[in-house]
Amino acid sequence: MRDFHKLKVWERAHQLTLKVYEITKGFPKEELYGLTSQLRRSCSSIPTNIVEGYGRSGKGEIIQFFNIQLVLRVN
């Protein structure tokens, strides 16, 4: 498997995820299963999908996973 850690897009997405986790620690406890959870899951899906797409065999599959992230973030 190729090393996705070398991808700048993965590194930025990973850093964003870490920052969101850090910020949401300060959110009210009653939001733990609402807004906090939704922000964390949404953000962590970006680098996860990049890794999954990068692990695929062809360029078309990689592009498909990147497009999924673009569509999810715009909607």
The range of the structural domain enclosing residue 20 comes to 4-74
The domain that holds 11 is classified in CATH as: 1.20.1440.60
Residue with the two structure tokens 């999954």: 52
Residues 47, 7: Cα–Cα separation, whole Å: 10
Torsion of the alpha carbons at 51, 53, 57 and 63, rounded to the nearest 10: -140
What tokens were used for 70? 């673009």
Burial class (CB in 10 A: 0-12, 13-18, 19+), 13: buried
**C-alpha to C-alpha distance for 2 and 17, rounded to whole angstroms:** 22
17-70 pLDDT, tens digit per residue, is 999 999 999 999 998 889 999 999 999 988 988 888 777 766 777 777 667 666
pLDDT at residue 55, as a whole number: 75
Domain total for the chain? 1
